[in-house]
Amino acid sequence: MTDKENKNTPPGRTYSSIVVDGVEQAPSRAMLRAVGFTEEDFSRSQIGIASTWSMVTPCNMHINTLADEAAAGANSAGGKAVIFNTITVSDGISMGTPGMRYSLVSREVIADSIETVVGAEGFDGFVTVGGCDKNMPGCVMAMARMNRPSVFVYGGTIRPGAKRRDIVSVFEAVGGASSGRVSEAELLEVEQTAIPGPGSCGGMYTANTMACAIEALGLSLPNSSGQDAVSDAKMADCRRAGEAVVELLRRDIKPSDILSREAFENAITVVIALGGSTNAVLHLLAMAYEARVPLELDDFTRIGARVPVLADLRPSGHYAMSELVEIGGVMPLMKMLLDQGLLHGGCMTVTGRTMAENLADTAPYPDGQKIVRGFDRPIKKDSHLVILYGNLAPEGAVAKITGKEGTSFTGSARVFGSEEEALQAILDGAVVAGNVVVIRGEGPVGGPGMREMLSPTSAIMGKGLGDSVALITDGRFSGGSHGFVVGHVTPEAAAGGPIGVIEDGDTITIDAESRVLDLDISAEALEQRLKNRTGPGEPPPPGVLQKYARLVGSASRGAVTIKTSPAE
């Protein structure tokens, strides 16, 4: 055993002591002095601050300020903070373009890059600060992998634009303009006023959904999900997160102490009660994979059978996240769920207390508020996230059915090989009432990258076809998508799935009550089509998309970039 290993270091300094202690680490200390370390800092626990700051998107444009505040909190608690960056891409900006193929890929890049820096630099603990959709699961995946004391901080929600607009207002105005329901001048006015400043997209879209899910997991401080991006509350949240990591180090509380199966069940419960994004299914499966917690599609069905949708939030509802923030955020809802026996109150959290202890003094929502309903009058008595199976989805598919669309749809297939083809047909009026739009070749491998279909779904809504046209895809949906939509169809077309052999005019049935997604042809006819199908097309050119396509697994298991299950 070396002197370094015998050294009497403060609790939690295991990793940084290896990097900076002892005569042989003088070169390391010399380099760290150049970036601001003092002699005293070498005896402190090192706290990495993973910042997703970027001017790429309003979701992340303020996160440098939040990272500074988290660093200040860690330093004041006796640690030594070191800020580093990782990437972000903007779903809202790249939506409907080839660039959207990089969106889900960025989740893996974020997780890999945080793991790389934390592992290489020997940080004892870390804070991750995320804003846009893939930042959040990417951060949590890295936290689970590294299993060092860590806290996630949400960058916060954007305030609504003029006339309570948000980014989905713009997408739907595009569909309205194509049908003549919205003038060019009106479209420009919506475009100019929908996004007023920093923060993540303002409904219960993927960013806000995942922020609430991570709080329910216990990996962020209470109410981190329920704060505006630009607010004193968010700055205080960041400072407390930095302080909290130092305390977690002292108490040796790691993600593995928090990320239990019960914690994931809490996250699923909260997502359902909020009417959250279908992307939560994909991301929670991936996060559970990294935490080595068994979780599968059918768990969403099991939990969804007893959890109602209570929050009237966009896109299918009326209110913005900032309006939920004004009445207390997600904590009063979690207290309601706990009191109803729908949350596991004994789960540990990053406060060092249990979920029940965190919620004990939570005040209820104010009288007269209309955003979150009681259990006696839910928006939907069970989950809006419906897992479907059938001859079109032998491994499952994910539907978002709030009930406003109805619970079943049978229609005639209109088949497209890409999102662009489908969008143009919708805008041109080639898609009509009674059609089931089929967009295939957009799965994790086939895309590659599993693009979101917000542009087609928004065009359908903008055209006034939301209640008369359905859409199915092996791609996925934005949290802003609504209507009768089914995504994550597995196996995907590129993996030989039946979605790849649907023909124009085929009859397709989507039944949320019986949880079925079926093509109305005989088993023999389907088998013959599958035998006769052509092989996959050309692989993408060398680069990150080709690497991703080679490594990524099924959406039914979270589309992680290792094709085996944790047990294997």
Are the beta carbons of 130 and 89 closer than 8 angstroms?
A: no
Q: Report the 10 Å Cβ neighbour count for 276.
A: 28
Helical (H) or strand (E) element with 527: helix 523-532
Q: Which two tokens stand for residue 260?
A: 């239990």
- Residues in contact with 116: Cβ distance below 8 Å, sequence separation at least 6, in sequence order: none
- Nearest 5°: the CA angle 97, 138, 312 is 75
Q: What is the DSSP letter of 474?
A: S
The single residue of 17, 322, 458, 478 carrying the catalytic annotation is 478
Of 331, 325, 202, 203, the closest CA to residue 276 belongs to: 203
Q: Are strands 125-130 and 150-154 parallel, antiparallel or unpaired?
A: parallel
Q: What are the structure tokens assigned to 487, written together? A: 């995504």
478 in catalytic set: yes
Half-sphere exposure of 363 (CA within 13 A, CB side): 6
Q: Can you tell me which residue has the tokens 């619970």?
A: 407
* Distance in angstroms (rounded) separating the CA atoms of residues 438 and 461: 16
- Residue 327 CB contacts under 8 Å (≥ 6 apart), including other chains: 365, 366, 369, 371, 372
Q: What is the 3-state secondary structure (H, E, C) of 247-273?
A: HHHHHCCCHHHHCCHHHHHHHHHHHHH
Instruction: Quickly count: other Cβ atoms within 10 Å of residue 245's Cβ.
Output: 31
Instruction: Please report the DSSP string for 510-567 in residue order.
Output: EETTTTEEEESS-HHHHHHHHHH-----PPPPTTHHHHHHHH---GGGT--SS-S-TT
d(CA 117, CA 261) in angstroms, rounded, equals 28
Tell me which residue of 485, 432, 434 sits closest to 455, measured CA to CA. Answer: 485
Contact 158/322 with Cβ under 8 angstroms? yes
- Residue 29 and residue 408: Cα distance in Å, rounded? 65
Residues 6 or more apart whose Cβ sits within 8 Å of residue 395: 490, 491, 497, 554, 556
Of 244, 204, 447, 465, residue with least CA distance to 358: 244
The H-assigned helical ranges of 252-330 are: 255-258, 261-274, 279-291, 297-304, 321-326
Helices (H), 312-453: 321-326, 331-339, 355-359, 419-428
133 alpha carbon, distance to own chain's centre:
5
Token duo for residue 369: 């508020």
List the structure tokens of 227.
């704060």
What is the rounded distance in angstroms from the CA atom of residue 485 to the CA atom of residue 456?
Answer: 11
**Residues catalogued as catalytic:** 478
